[in-house]
Homo-oligomer: A and B are copies of this chain.
């Protein structure tokens, strides 16, 4: 995966992600949209057969767009970690109830 900054202003960030398509963009966008300091989040997959995506985020007031995207990544990571732990626990508890 290769990321490139295409545009960066105080409230806008546009990055190109090589080697990824809809899947990662979708997750990122959902996490960005849940952030109150984000004004708009979108993406584009310019060529359906080329695995290259562009993610765009625009923040409100003094919120830096790169901070918003880093926070989105952290949030996905924390959610994933929590799910993994809860799943393990559930599978163990189920096995115990079965035996």
Residues of A participating in the B interface, judged by any CB pair closer than 8 Å: 1-5, 8, 15, 17, 20, 22-24, 26-31, 33-34, 36, 38-46, 48, 54, 56, 66, 69-70, 73, 76-77, 79-84, 86-87, 89-91, 93-94
Contacts and interface: CB of A to CB of B under 8 A. Distances in A.
A5 B90 CA distance: 6
A94 B5 contact: yes
A93 B84 CA distance: 34
Q: Give the number of times this chain occurs in the complex, counting copies.
A: 4
A42 B30 CA distance: 11
Nearest to A82: B1
Given A5-B91, A40-B44, A73 B83 contact: yes
B54 A43 contact: no
Contact of A44 (B27, B39, B81): B39
A38 to B, nearest CB: 7
